[in-house]
Every structure is written in C-alpha cells, then in structure tokens.
A and B are shown apart, each in its own frame.
Chain A
C-alpha cells in the first residue's frame, strides 16, 4: 500500500514558466510534508517543507501548497530554470511513537526544464 503517491513520472517545462509537481497521500496521521530534490549520482537534498497547520509555505522561487481535505500537496517553482532539472520526491512524516524520524517517500517526478 503506497501511502505517498506522485502520479506523474515526468514533467517538461520551458524555462521561465511555472513547474507544478503534485503529490497525494492516504495516511491521515501524516502531519509534516517535505520535498526533496535529487540530481544524478547524488543523494536527495531537502528543498522545502510544510506543517499540516499551514496551507502554504514559500521560499524564494519555491512554494508548497497543502490541501488537507484532499490529502494533496503541490510544489510550485516559478520561474523555472534549467538547473531545476532533477528528480523531485515528495515525503511525509507522522509525529510521535514509532514513526519518529521516519519519512515515507513518493516515487519521484523527473522535472526537465528546457532553455
């Protein structure tokens, strides 16, 4: 049972336009959500996060939106740059108990930004 799903394996965007990456989750216990970015031959690096008490978090060109009722979050990158081309992973975490410190990841979306 995949608790975090990224249904788009890939996304292609023109430089300067907006990139929107989507993520759905099923576990109601998740209260913290993160996006990671991964370049080839490197490990994932943290990009941005959002707590379930918020519906939006912004950091420069990156904004994450959370819709708790729909169990859906999205990452917006605007304007997109060629250097943003990477695999983006959505991750979720539930507070407390044995879930401490564990992240559940989606399968990733390959973003390609064309010059």
Chain B
C-alpha cells in the first residue's frame, strides 16, 4: 500500500454508462493528479489539482470530468466513453517536492 488508494481496481463499462473513479490519499500532500496509461504510450497527464488550482489538459475530452472536493480526495467522472478510452488510469499525489510523487495502483478501465 503506497498511501494512495484507487477504487475500483478494475471497471468494465458500456459506452452509455456513467461511472466514477475514486482516489484517496492521507499523506498530507497538496497536489493530486490523474494520468492515463495506454499500451505503448507515455503516461499522459490528464488533470492536476494543486492548492485548489485545477490545471486542465486541453486535449482531455469533456467526457472525463474531474472533481476534487478536498485535499485528500480526487474523482474522475466518466460518461459516454469510447472504446479507445480503455486504459489504466493512475492517480498520484505529491507535496510539491518533485521526488515525492506517490502513485496509486490504478484502475484498469475497459469500455465495451
């Protein structure tokens, strides 16, 4: 257990479904991130929350919607996804120290 917990670990959803991914950290970190890992591609930064500032990657489709209700929790709301959105979604947190990135184990998402 790294201190960053992601649920669920696996998710299969249809293209018309709405689901949410959850990330929780109790490390006292003030920044949280969503990354997407597709096969043979780099980890792609999707969203950053830092000190209540959201930095949004402009290439992220609106069918992905993040929510950060407090410094310990981060959600990724999913709706009307496409099969190409199937990937491993990783949450990370950091205290601002670039060595201090801590990743969760990820949610393996399959869109059918």
Q: Are A and B genuine complex partners?
A: yes
Mark A residues whose CB is within 8 Å of B: 2, 4, 9, 32, 34, 36, 41-46, 49, 89, 93, 98, 100-108
Q: Are A4 and B99 in contact (CB under 8 A)?
A: no
Within the complex, what minimum Cβ distance (angstroms) separates B55 from chain A?
6
Q: Are B45 and A104 in contact (CB under 8 A)?
A: yes
* Contact call A98/B2, Cβ cutoff below 8 A: no
Q: Please report the C-alpha to C-alpha distance between residue A32 and residue B2 in the assembled complex, in whole angstroms.
A: 23
Which residue of the partner chain, among B2, B44, B94, B100, contacts A43 with CB atoms under 8 Å? B2
Interface string of B94-106 (1 = CB under 8 A from A): 1010111111111
Which one of B35-43, B63-71, B72-80 contacts A? B35-43
A/B pair count, beta carbons within 8 Å? 63
Within 8 A of A (CB), among B43-88: 43-45, 48, 50, 55
Q: CB within 8 Å of A: which residues of B?
A: 2, 4, 6, 31, 33, 35, 40-45, 48, 50, 55, 90, 92, 94, 96, 98-106
- Do B98 and A101 touch (CB < 8 A)? yes
Contacts of B43 in A (CB 8 A): 44, 89, 105
When C-beta atoms are compared, the residue in chain B nearest to A4 turns out to be B42
Most buried by A among B44, B101, B102: B101
